[in-house]
Amino acid sequence: MSEVNTITQATGNNAPNPSAIPADELARMTDDIIAALKTVYDPEIPVDIYELGLIYKVDIDDDRNVAIDMSLTAPGCPVAGEMPGWVENAVGTVPGVLGVKAKITFDPPWDHSRMSEEARMAMNMW
């Protein structure tokens, strides 16, 4: 998986801050969030948005709210207005998640280097 795909516990500052969420629960939530993200597809591309590298950042705060920074393959993507809702709906089904907000960003712009090896293989992009 590309290094730009990160899930972190949000602290609100740069100082280390232990999570109020127990480590085993945070690990389970992280795995479940990734699995939920892998159920969301751009209808024009046969690869999920996580493997495409469209998920830039996922923060889980101590209240179990999830904030997601994501991108699109192109600013003119026909489902640009719908995809954040799809992401919010998918991640909102994860046990323990109390709220989800997905935000589109184009900084940095998405490019093929963000794709996982799995996505490159599926799209025959070597």
Q: What is the pLDDT of residues 96-118, one digit of tens each?
A: 999 999 999 999 999 999 999 99
pTM for this predicted structure? 0.85
67 belongs to a structural domain: yes
89 belongs to a structural domain: yes
Contact 66, 12 (CB under 8 A): no
Q: Read off the CATH number of the domain in which 22 is found.
A: 3.30.300.130
1 belongs to a structural domain: no
Q: What is the pLDDT of residues 80-94, one digit of tens each?
A: 899 999 999 999 999
Q: What is the pLDDT of residue 43?
A: 86
Question: Residue 29 in 3-state DSSP?
Answer: helix
Question: Residue 42 in 3-state DSSP?
Answer: coil
Total number of domains constituting the chain: 1
Average pLDDT, the chain: 87
Domain range spanning residue 39? Answer: 6-122
57 belongs to a structural domain: yes
